[in-house]
Structure 1
Amino acid sequence: MAAEVLPLPPQRAPLGPAPLTADQRYWRTFKDQLLLPSPHNAGVTSITVPSFNSTGAQADTFAVTSGGRVQIYSTKTRKLVKTISRFGVDDTARSGVLRRDGRILLAGGDSGIVQAFDTGSRAILKQWRGEHAHKQAVHVVRWNPNVLTDLMSTSDDRTVRVWDLTEDVSKWTGIGHEDYVRSGCYIPGHGMIATGSYDQTVRLWDTRQSGTGKPALTFKHTAPVEDLIPLGSAMLASAAGNEVAILNLVAGKADHIVRSHQKTVTSLGLAQNGARLLTGGLDGHIKVHNTTTWEVASGLKYPAPILSLAVVSSGAFEADREDKHLAVGLQTGILSLRTRLAGTEKTKAREKEKKMRALIAGEADEYERKQKKKDKRQGIRARDRGKDFRGEGADIIIAGNERTRQKLRPWQRSLRAGKYSLALDQVLKPNPREGFSNEDMVTLLTALRHRSALRTALAGRSEEQLIPVLHWVLKYINHAEHVNLIYDVVLLLLHIYSPRLGEWQEADDDEARQVVDLVKRIARRVRKGADYAAQARETLGMLELMEMG
């Protein structure tokens, strides 16, 4: 008994990159990017979100500091709400931050003055300056997350101060740093402050001590400290050089060192309710780290060094928080706002993207037809789900081991019969119900090549039969997964039909002229691809030289 002849297995394209992880899919939902240039192309040095409090709502705005102004943006619309520019002519604004109710904005400056502004009228409510204030630039100001009238500031005069909004003099001063203090934050749950300095230390201060304070704890780093962010009441992340240290405030040591950047890490942020730590650096990369394993879970690339970042949440209360925007400030003065699409917004954006691709490809009518068919099918399913099926009269079917013979398609039958040219025609011009399948085309040509029958299938074709083959070559010649197969096809076509190209050029026949035109278009596309390849080789050579240097 002869063995059964099975259909050829379809030729699949090579597998692409590894499937996306859950984190990568999550951060790819931050799509709708808005690029906002600063008025004077000054670097965006600070992006701050009002701190959350378990008992009070958070303002639906966030502050962006650049050059001599602080701009307030709406969380809901991403539009500019207010601009506060009441700083001196030679002064530069620093670290603009809104109070959690959104009514007062704090800002430092290179002049050493700390100012409080009414966000409604832009009026200056308070200025701390003079003998009992900072003597040099103030780079960081922060609101106390628990007390509406308390705030802190750090300065290049190497001190950290705590203020009361109703008082003219600081109520506590921390002395101990030996260089500029460029970062600071409150530790949640108690009245302690952490500060980072260019003296390569992070110091923890207990502001409940009266008089001039001394640090309660000191952590030594190997580079100037650029930013700090609390990871709860007992953990702290500090960026120094191209490393981020995870500091254990109870044990008094670093639990982990994160090394994922090539250049200095300038800014830190938290996302997904503290489950992810974001780091931004001068290498233009944002890395997303899992706060359990501290491994890089995802990442984003920007075209310029990153000076600041923040994840803006949309919930009014802490329990309702959801990441809404990823705000990134670049050295070039560009503020990048990426908005996370979720739910119906995500579905609408996906459908819009599919429709646009179909329109560009000239398949808009086909897309509309499929969409109507899909909508009709979903309507039938919804109707069926509404019925109450109780199972009366239902048949029970037990699936056995029976083999069902797969029916061969016309081109597969022709291939089995050795009618190679006919099989090729049947793939190129199938019946209207089936439509053209590139997978069938690649499968057939691969089988013909294995049988050394590719020349037989391509030879002896008229101009009318040759045109579909050339159309397929022109369409897929730039697809990397088909290059080797198309190379063999083109070589055979040139070898078989090059003697006839001359007479086709002089012929008055439309089909002959169409063949010549397709050959010329293929030649131009090959030439352009060769130029791109040459440029890529030159670029690769330059990169290798840079690596050697």
Structure 2
Amino acid sequence: MAHISYPFKKTSKAAFRKPESVVSQDAIYWKKLGQPVLVKEFGAIDYLDFSPVEPHYFAATSSVRVQIYDPITKVVAKNISKFVQAAYGGCFKNDGRLLVAGSEEAVVKLFDVQSKNVLRVFTGHTGPVHRTFFTKDQVKVASFSDDKSVCLWDIATEEKITSFADHTDYIRAGATSPISPDLILSGSYDNTVKLYDCRTNEPSLTVNHGSPVESILFLPSGGIFISAGGTEIKVWDIFNGGKLLGSISQHHKTVTTLCLASNNSRLMSASLDRHVKIYDISTFKVVHNINYPNAVLSMAISEKDDTLAVGMIDGVISIKKREKPAKRKGVKKGVNKFAPDYIESHHFSAEQSVKRKNKHENDLDKYLRKMEYTKALGAILNGSVITKFPEKTAAGLQQLLRWKVLNIAISGLNNKQLNFLLKYLRRNLGETRFTRTIIDTANVFIDVYEGQMTNLSETNLMLYRGLLQGINSEIDVCKEVSELEGAICMLLAAGQLSDNRDILDVHNTLVPSSKALKDIIIDVSN
């Protein structure tokens, strides 16, 4: 049979490279935090806070005490246990020498970290105080209580400066402004966030989060704040009258805490769904995700992201410390890895390795150059190649298809080689990398052996029937996935989710085209 001769071109070796997962710089950066060290406390971890000064100890508020941990040794350095009932919200002053905490006793206590002595006790609340913070000038303390009030205390005189009682439910979240000592944010279970100016007697701003507010924080500019409650995180603009700038919904259970990281360029959120998510503050898109074994209640990260502490509902604190860069191995001491002789010797060994790996491909090209197509196909149809290097077999089949000589190559195969070909087609039928090549090869096989199936051996006939069953199964999968895609689209439309979410393109990425697979069935039926 005459055929057209084409100019020879080596078979492409990279056509079927395995898809590589895209690893972002954020993923690399956050994975360097290393393996966690777990520390068990006596109760759920209510609040975590890092000291702003070295060595950046962190305070863990749990049960009736505040434990201060050394992030390097992961052991307790200080134990502040002067509480009769549960302690809440232990927070450091910016010099790391003082710590303030609320309690179930409806009082706010100020401690000297070094001596662990109580320096001040602020009384006046009538309900448990869950959050306490120092103001910008560090001479006042703001407290947020279940008695639905926010109070401002003077540290020097131990007196209440002012109080606000505009919420209608428990206040479990608060924040002080990074630019003004007079601005305070409070978040309540009445779904609202209120901004107070301590120079006035009423809220300066009120926004409705839509769910009980669990955590709030200011961005460093002081003009934008973020609230978390329910499964949503919302961004608000103070200067535009509390305008909603954006809404993030990446968790599927209640978001419990927020914090800033990476020099305030990243936002971190933790949730009862056991995930900590990290967002780019400029786009609010997720750049990394960290999983934990239990629901997360509290979280804090040290300066320069050296240590991440996460407190869980079962009383376990997970402490991740950033790993130091490891010394390079594999180069002998005294050997200059940049020396020409070192590079040349290693380059030579790499070349030899490549030659050994490409042996079968060289056989393929050798037979293609001589236009011995059956031998070329046989070279990529032995057991070791189709099992260990299926991409090489696919590349060879694609080359023969491109030259339109695959029918010639298949017609000359013996029973053993046909056995390998059918096994390869069946095994890789659902492999998305090879789908188009597998379908085209199967069509050519059917064209060659149409009406001659009785000439196949019993084993090959069984493999052929198995291939047809596999094709039918793939078509059924395509139908089911299409139905699932339609159902998901309806749910998304009903939920009125934002248009910027990518709906899974099932047809193009997960499974072979059902139309392409049906082509084979049509050929078989004919």
TM-score by length of 1: 0.63
The size of the alignment, in residue pairs, is 424
1:114 to 92, 108, 119: 108
Matched, 1:219 2:210: no
SS at 2:338 equivalent: helix
Match among 67, 70, 74 for residue 66 of structure 2: 70
2:234 to 221, 245, 249: 245
Structure 1 residue 330 displacement after superposition: 2.1
Structure 1 CA distance for aligned equivalents of residues 317 and 294 of structure 2: 11
Deviations 1:94-145 (A, max 9, x none): 111122222222221112122223323333333334xxx2221110011234
C-alpha separation in 2, matches of 1:198 and 1:244 = 15
Residues in 2 aligned to 1:455 and 1:334: alpha-carbon distance in whole angstroms: 65
Task: Return the match for 2:13 from 10, 13, 26.
Answer: 10
AA in 2 matched with 1:66: S
Deviation at 1:373, TM superposition (A): 9.1
1:20 aligns with 2:23: yes
Partner of 1:36: 38
Aligned partner (choices 184, 187, 191) of residue 177 of structure 2: 187
Counterpart amino acid of residue 240 in structure 1: G
Structure 1 residues 2 and 445 mapped into 2: Cα distance closer, same or farther (>3 Å)?
A: closer
Q: CA deviation at 1:205?
A: 2.0
SS of residue in 1 equivalent to 2:459? helix
- What SS class does the counterpart of residue 170 from structure 1 fall into? strand
Gaps of 5+ in 2: 344-359, 443-455, 463-480, 492-526
CA contact (8 A) 2:365 2:376 kept: no
Identity of aligned residues (%): 27
Q: 129, 147, 158: which one pairs with 1:157?
A: 147
How many angstroms does 1:236 deviate by?
1.2
Instruction: State the 1:180 CA deviation.
Output: 1.2
CA contact (8 A) 2:48 2:299 kept: yes
AA matched with 2:215: D
Distance 2:97 2:365 in 1: 75
**Matching residue of 1:269:** 259
Q: Distance in 2 between matches of 1:328 and 1:493?
A: 64
Query: Quick one: distance in 2 between partners of 1:289 and 1:421?
Result: 51
- Answer yes or no: is 1:126 the counterpart of 2:128: no
User: Given that residues 72 and 81 in structure 1 are in contact (C-alpha distance below 8 angstroms), is that contact kept between their aligned partners in structure 2?
Assistant: yes
* Deviations, residues 296-316 of structure 1 (Å, cap 9, x unaligned): 344333343221222221xxx
- Is residue 141 from structure 1 mapped to residue 95 from structure 2 by the alignment? no
State the AA in 1 paired with 2:9.
Answer: L
Match of 1:234? Answer: 223
Report the CA distance between 1:233 and its aligned residue. 1.9
On the 8 A contact 1:35/1:334 being kept in 2, the answer is: no
Paired residue for 1:362? none
Assess if the C-alpha contact under 8 Å between 1:411 and 1:426 holds in 2. Answer: no
CA contact (8 A) 2:16 2:434 kept: no
1:278 maps to 2:268: yes
Once the 2 structures are TM-superposed, how far is the Cα of residue 444 of structure 1 from its aligned partner?
A: 5.4
Aligned equivalent of 2:167: 177
- Alignment of structure 1 residues 289-300 onto 2, 5 Å: 289-300=279-290
The 3 A distance-change label for structure 1 pair 379 and 411 is same
8 Å CA contact retained: 1:411, 1:427:
no
Change (3 A) 1:5 1:155: same
Residue 196 of structure 2 is matched in structure 1 by: 205
User: Whole-Å Cα distance in 2 between the matches of residues 252 and 79 of structure 1?
Assistant: 46
CA pair 442-103 structure 1, distance change in 2 beyond 3 A: same
The CA distance in 1 between the partners of 2:64 and 2:149, in whole Å, is 23
Measured at CA, do residues 448 and 427 of structure 1 come closer, stay the same or move farther in structure 2, by a change above 3 Å? Answer: farther
Q: Is the 8 A contact 1:98 1:106 kept in 2?
A: yes
The equivalent of 2:522 in structure 1 is: none
Q: Quick check: 1:329 aligned with 2:302?
A: no
Instruction: Tell me what 1:412 maps to.
Output: 365
CA separation of 1:493 and 1:121: change in aligned 2, threshold 3 A: farther
2:414 pairs with 1:456: yes
Alignment deviations for residues 281-337 of structure 1 (CA, whole Å, 9 cap, x no partner): 223333333333333344333343221222221xxxxxxxx2223322222333223
Question: Which residue pairs with 1:46 in the alignment?
Answer: 47
Which digits, 9 at most, give the CA deviation of each residue in 1:403-425, with x for residues without a partner? Answer: xxxx9834532565444698469
Shift of 1:374: 13
CA contact (8 A) 1:421 1:456 kept: no
- Which position in structure 2 is the counterpart of 1:301? 291
Please give the TM-score of this superposition, normalised by the length of structure 2: 0.66
Aligned: 1:87 with 2:48: no
- Check the 8 A contact 1:71/1:80 in 2, yes or no: yes
Amino acid at match of 1:263: K
Q: Which amino acid aligns with 1:47?
A: L
Residue by residue, what CA displacement relative to the aligned partner does 1:190-238 show, whole Å, maximum 9, x if unpaired? 12211111222222222345xxx43233223322221110112222111
Query: CA 1:337/1:375 → structure 2, altered by over 3 Å: closer, same or farther?
Result: farther
Check conservation: 2:136, 2:177, Cα contact below 8 A.
no
Residue 523 of structure 1 corresponds to none
C-alpha separation in 2, matches of 1:45 and 1:37: 15
The one-letter amino acid of 1:413's match is K
Question: How far did residue 72 of structure 1 move?
Answer: 1.7
CA distance in structure 2 between the aligned counterparts of 1:206 and 1:459, rounded to whole angstroms: 83
User: Which digits, 9 at most, give the CA deviation of each residue in 1:54-106, with x for residues without a partner?
Assistant: xxx56621212222332222345544422333322xx2221111222222222
Contact persistence 2:311–2:317 (CA under 8 A) = yes
> Contact (CA 8 Å) 2:189, 2:211: kept in 1 or not?
yes
Partner secondary structure for residue 414 of structure 2:
helix
* Distance (whole Å) between structure 1 residues aligned to residue 18 and residue 146 of structure 2: 55
How far apart in 2 are the matches of 1:255 and 1:408?
A: 60
Q: Classify 1:122/1:427 alpha carbon distance in 2 versus 1 (closer, same or farther; 3 Å).
A: same
Local SS of the residue matching 2:121: strand
